[in-house]
Chains A and B, each alone.
Chain A
Amino acid sequence: MRPDVDATTEILTAAGVPLKEASSDTLGVVCRIEAFRLEAALAALRAVGYQTLVDLFGTDTGEAVELTYHLRRLGDLAEVYLKAIVAYDCEAPSVWRVYPAALYPEREAAELLGVSFAGHPNPKRLLTTEEVEGHLLRKDVLLRTPEEVAL
């Protein structure tokens, strides 16, 4: 089910989170906000029943990293996507206190896309070892064959 864009905007604005953009497209209701307001925005949505963080991931847009937070309310199955842009190698707030489900995906986004999450209690790498150089999901990291890696 899709919640109303206006209703979602209202919830976020009431919590002091101005929206850069709110739309409803093939994905569903998407709200774009400033990265430093993520924790306040997610807490506001949690308070109105969005109990589950379905997923959290980053996308390299070519200019910066776009973080996507996918939330769901179990009662009426309403879903909302929050998006925020974080510059390369910059910081976003960790939201693990609002959604403990964010603990793993934040570590993954940090290692694979090169952003950091302020306040993460365990900011280690999740999937790769310390020897791996570069942030593998960035667009400037190219696929290489095993032979090329050996060189």
Chain B
Amino acid sequence: MSDIGRIGPSTGVVPTEGAHRIPVLPRGLRRAPSGIDEVATEHLIVNMGPQHPSTHGVLHILLELDGEVVVAAEASLGYLHRGIEKLVEHRRYHQIGTLLDRADYVSGLHSETALAMAVESLAGIEVPEKAQWIRSLVMEVNRITSHMLWLGTFGLDLGAMAPFLYTMREREALLDILEAITGSRMMFNYVRPGGVLADLPAGIGVALDTFLATFDGYMDEYDTLLGGNEIFVERVRGVGVIDATTATAFGMTGACLRAAGVDYDVRKAAPYAAYAHVEFEVPLGTVGDCWDRYAVRMEELRWAGRLIRQLLDGMPEGDHTAKVPKGLRPPAGESYAAVESPRGELGIHLVSDGSDRPYRMRLRSPAYFNLAVIDEALSGGLVADAVATLGSLDIVLGEIDR
């Protein structure tokens, strides 16, 4: 496997300035020829989704096919649009978290933290040290649960049934721990402006220790199950290449951007919560194909495990929340706060008019920008590769449609 282990520690590479290439996009879907003087091979338009096993939710993609080759691809979104940004304008600041849990329903703690940070920056709230560490801890646990779901379904997409069953075991073990901490498996509403809802319950350290004791060994197993499987490797290597210039031009973030070798991780770029106090590396790929995205996330999983260990060991004493008035009225103004969610930079842009509800809240969803690249990434490849590429992007429709 050594020839495919292209992953390495951060080297500080960013694409050279001015190397931007404007893609001819979108090509749009050409319909069948309309006149007899128009000569063309017939292109077939295939609907992939919204009910398709590998569209990860209710994504609908129109694929224009020339035989088995994808000529153009267009996403049709909105099947899960609930108008969260509108609803937020009618909620008080401490009521918004529950809506955001339902935006990115696989990693709710990340969006809750982004919101809390945006509110704190507007209202000038100082968050206690302990709350910052708890936030980092639960976010890293959440990152593993999210990546485990991705790993399992990515295997399923490519015909590997077994890893899914194992990754669900890991995921459930951590969801039980998150339930013990926050009171809920997925709809947490745990991180609040000013801190977190409650202190860590007794016994959490032991529970996480038990999990971590087997985690690295299991990660090796998963790596062997998928990364050591020649069929899997052949299906992802060199497939769905998204290079660094394309990725930056489309605003991609997270593992999809880092797989192309761009060293950008919000945890390093603008450290929040307790990330300035722990040591970790940001794994980078080189080519930006499906294998690199797979390898980057596998490394991130291992680093998340190490981060949990560091955060448990260094957990300070103190309050879990600052005193925050119930009817919080931040002064008029704007703020932006971002976190590194499992999918990339998740940002909350708040506009306050001084009342107890936001005037406008914009959720900068990472998967929304990562998905926009599909025409570029799928075109020219085979239909079967489209499934691999989509799976490697790790999209969550809840946060795309909002």
Contact = CB atoms under 8 A, between A and B. Distances in A.
Interface of A: 25-28, 46-47, 49, 51-55, 57, 59-60, 68, 70, 74-75, 77, 96-97, 99-101, 103-104, 121-122, 125-129, 136-137, 141, 143
10 contacts: A27-B335, A49-B17, A52-B248, A57-B349, A59-B359, A70-B336, A77-B269, A100-B249, A101-B369, A121-B26
A128 B379 CA distance: 26
B248 A136 contact: no
B23 A55 contact: no
Interface stretch (B63-71, B83-91, B204-212): B83-91
B358 to A, nearest CB: 11
Contacts of A70: 336, 349, 364
Contacts of B362: 55, 57, 68
B317 to A, nearest CB: 31
Interface of B: 14-15, 17-18, 20, 22-23, 25-26, 28, 74, 77-78, 81, 83, 85-87, 90, 121-122, 248-251, 262, 264, 269-270, 333-336, 345, 347, 349, 351, 359-360, 362, 364, 368-369, 372, 401-402
Contacts of A52: 248-249, 251
Contact of B249 (A51, A54, A59, A128): A51
B78 A26 contact: no
A127 B84 CA distance: 12
Contacts of B264: 74
- Tell me what chain A mostly uses at the interface: helix, strand, loop, or mixed: loop
A8 to B, nearest CB: 16
Nearest to A75: B14
A121 B25 CA distance: 8
Contacts of B335: 26-27
Contacts of A129: 78
A136 B83 contact: yes
B251 A101 contact: yes
Contacts of B349: 55, 57, 68, 70
A82 B267 CA distance: 25
A26 B122 contact: yes
B86 A101 contact: no
Contacts of B74: 122
Given A27-B333, A59-B360, 7 more contacts: A26-B334, A55-B349, A59-B351, A99-B251, A100-B23, A121-B26, A125-B78
Contacts of A68: 349, 362
A105 to B, nearest CB: 8
A104 B25 contact: no
A55 B78 CA distance: 19
B30 to A, nearest CB: 13
B248 A74 contact: yes
Given A47-B18, A75-B17, A136-B83, A101 B372 contact: yes
Contacts of B402: 127
A106 to B, nearest CB: 11
Nearest to B334: A27
Contacts of B351: 59
A68 B336 CA distance: 12
A122 B26 CA distance: 7
B7 to A, nearest CB: 20
B78 A127 contact: yes
Contact of B20 (A46, A57, A75, A104): A46
Contact of A26 (B26, B121, B249, B359): B121
B49 to A, nearest CB: 16
B347 A55 contact: yes
